[in-house]
Every structure is written in C-alpha cells, then in structure tokens.
Amino acid sequence: MILENNKKDEGEWVTASSFDIQIFDLNDNISSIEINERSDGSSCYIAKIDNRGIIYNEFIIYNGPQVEFRCKVNFFKNSDSGKFIPRLTFYKQDKSGNLKETKTNKVIIEFVKRDMGLDNFWKLISFLKSFKEIVDTGDFDKKFKVVDPSSVIITDKNKATYIKKIINAGYDEDIWLSLINSNPSLVTKLSYSRIYQNRQKIIDELEGRLLNGVFHETIGDNSWQKWIYKNNWLFGVNYKKPIEKTKINITGVMPDYLFPTLDGFVDVLEIKLPSDNVIEKDASHAGSWKWTTEANKAVGQVINYLCEIDRLKFEIEKSVKRNYGYDINLLKPHAYILIGDSSLWDEEKKEGLRKMNHYLHGIDVLTYKDLMDRGSQAINIKNFET
C-alpha cells in the first residue's frame, strides 16, 4: 500500500482519496493501531491494524464538557539513525473547533490529573516508544524509565528523598488518607501531620469568620452554606461527595444537599446564621427553656425535609445511583441544624440546649462553637500523634 506524496508543509503528508484520515481517542483501545513506514522510506504513518486505509494523524488526550486537549503527530526522518523522529503539537480547542489561543496570551495545557488527560498523555508516549525499530525517541531510555511502583526500594539513604517527593507532589487529601490506612511509618506520620496542619487552618479560619460576622447564610461564594459544605469533615464524620438536589431532579421540599456517610447512610444539614438566637428562657416556667423563633423555624423545615425524604425514598436512591454511581440507604436519615454561637453561654444555658436536644428525635441542634470543638477534637485524636 502506497501513500500519495502531496506535500503541504515539511513533514506533513496528505493521503490519497482512498484513505480515511481520522482522529484517535486515547480512551479507546490503542492496541488497535500501529505505526508503519512508507513504502518509499521517506516517512511513516499511524494506521488501524486491521485496515490500513484508516489513517490517524491526531489524538484526543482529554475530551471535556467544554474543551478538548489534542495532539497532532508528524514524523521527520533522522538522517543519522535512519529512523523517524515524532514531532508532537499539543493544542486546546473548544467544542466548536475553535483554538483556545490568542496572539497575546499563551494557552497552558497541564497533564497533572488522571481525569484531565494525564494517563492518556503517557499512553501516547508509550505507544510511540513501542515502535522503536522505526521511531527515534533519542536518549529517552537513558534519562527516563517507567517502573512498577512495587519494585521501588526505599532505603535509609533515599528515604528522605522519596518523602520529600511525596510531600511536594501536591496530592489531594484522598491520597494522604489512603496513606494513613497503611502500616505506621514515617510517611504515614507525615501525612497525618500534613492533614493536621491543613485542618488546623480551617479551624482558625472558622474562628476568624465568627469574629468577622459579615457572611451571608446562602448568598455568595463566601456564604456559610458553601463554606460548611466544603468543610463538612468538621462534624467529625467522613462523608462522601455531597449530593446536590439539582442533580438528582427530585421534586418536592428537599434540602439543597444530602450528605452520604461512608457506611452508606445519609445525613441532612440545615445551616442558619451564627448570629441567630437558639434558645431562650421560658418566663412562665422556672428553669425551663424554649426554642427561639429562628430555631423553631429551622426545626420545622428539617422535619418537613425528613418527611419528604421518607416519602420519596426509593426514587431518590435510584436517582443518586444513576447520577453519582454509588448506593445510599435513606433509612431514618439523621439531621443537623447549625445555628447560633454558644461561645459566651453560661453553663445553665448549655445545659438547657442539651435538654432541648434530648427530646428531638433524629435531629441535633449544634452551635458554631460546637462545630469548632468537634473539628478540634477530630484533628487531635490519638491517631494524629507523632
């Protein structure tokens, strides 16, 4: 099979009309394609193994909802080795095919996350290297080597180097939590230390927000609702990703978010302002307390939510499975109401809230001071000691 040599730019070849030039998505099976040398030895091309009439000159590395990361591959002959040097051009374009680039601003494409093309980038590099009999990758093998992580041997001499690499790699918290579950070691202790430092900053930030007192309940990026949802670990329970009401398309009176716990059940959270009053003395009964108007309204809202969740239980569970990919059990959801600040309360008032909470079935009313105490307890447990 011979490719027609209609040369446009150096190193770029156009195939005859009998050939079908396509773009290969690296999420597909890359073992279905191969690199072949042209019959005249002037270049090479990438084609489908079982149909060399299908030619690929571009690869989709990341196919996102708004943009794509692509790589165009051209081959140039190295006169010294007789092999072909791959020239890779990476670019970003939107779904309309418009390049995301201007004359004054460069577009930076970073392959740093698996779900943003990192795996596909290395899949492409490995594919090119696998045809070393015709593809020239220079001294790549002398400078780089892909190894099985299990074959890396950590000794006393290189331990510090590997630990520094792990710390500086910028892994997200899931990676560090995974390390925590491994055998007690210096790396594990460092991971605890890192999480401790990050979470202590969050607690300090919470204290600062309470002193500031200017944040809205639900409006704006700095609202209490958004901040609490982002830092839900403060409740002392590890949650999966919060479930947004808007993404499960359930009609009815529902909280904005559901919080699935790691054991598969669900908590509900209603957020009010730290400036709201929570309880007040009942003047008509000595030693008695009652909910304030704000707290009583919040309790009513949560009761309504729980009734709706119970009514729509199976519908919500199916929708979450479809949209989030994991199972939840809506058996008797527990609810939290975050409201008020008990920092300056006396013991009598604190006891009053405990009594009021005791007779609320499946609902806990917490103050922002309680939340700060829970967060501090969560990062100062024995497991964090080094």
| pLDDT digit string, tens, across residues 230-253 | 888 888 767 888 888 777 766 667
Radius of gyration of the chain (CA): 30
Largest Cα–Cα distance of the chain, in whole Å? 102
Q: DSSP character for 276?
A: S
Mean predicted confidence (pLDDT) in 81-94? 88
The 8 Å CB, 24+ separation contacts for 242-251 are: 243/320, 243/324, 243/328, 247/323, 247/324, 248/316, 248/319, 248/320, 248/323, 249/319, 250/312, 250/315, 250/316, 250/319
183 pLDDT higher than 50: no
Do β-strands 84-94 and 243-244 pair in parallel, antiparallel, or remain unpaired? Answer: unpaired
| pLDDT digit string, tens, across residues 269-293 | 899 999 999 999 988 888 899 999 9
Going by C-alpha positions, the residue among 56, 42, 40 that lies closest to residue 2 is: 40
Do β-strands 6-7 and 67-77 pair in parallel, antiparallel, or remain unpaired? Answer: unpaired
In this structure, of 97-101, 206-210, 299-303, the range with the lowest mean pLDDT score is 97-101
The 8 Å CB, 24+ separation contacts for 280-286 are: 281/352
Burial 268-299 (b: 16+ CB within 10 A, else e): bbbbbbbebebbeeeeeeeeebebbebbeebb
Dihedral over alpha carbons 242, 243, 245, 251 (to 10 degrees)? -150
Cβ-contact 116, 61 below 8 angstroms = no
Integer angstrom CA distances of residue 60 from 55, 57, 72, 84, 91: 14, 10, 9, 22, 10
What's the predicted TM-score (pTM) here? Answer: 0.51
Q: What angle do CA 323, 326, 330 make, to 5 degrees?
A: 95
Going by C-alpha positions, the residue among 132, 111, 109 that lies closest to residue 121 is: 111
Q: What is the pLDDT of residue 171?
A: 56
Cβ-contact 75, 87 below 8 angstroms = yes
Of residues 71 and 378, more confidently modeled: 71
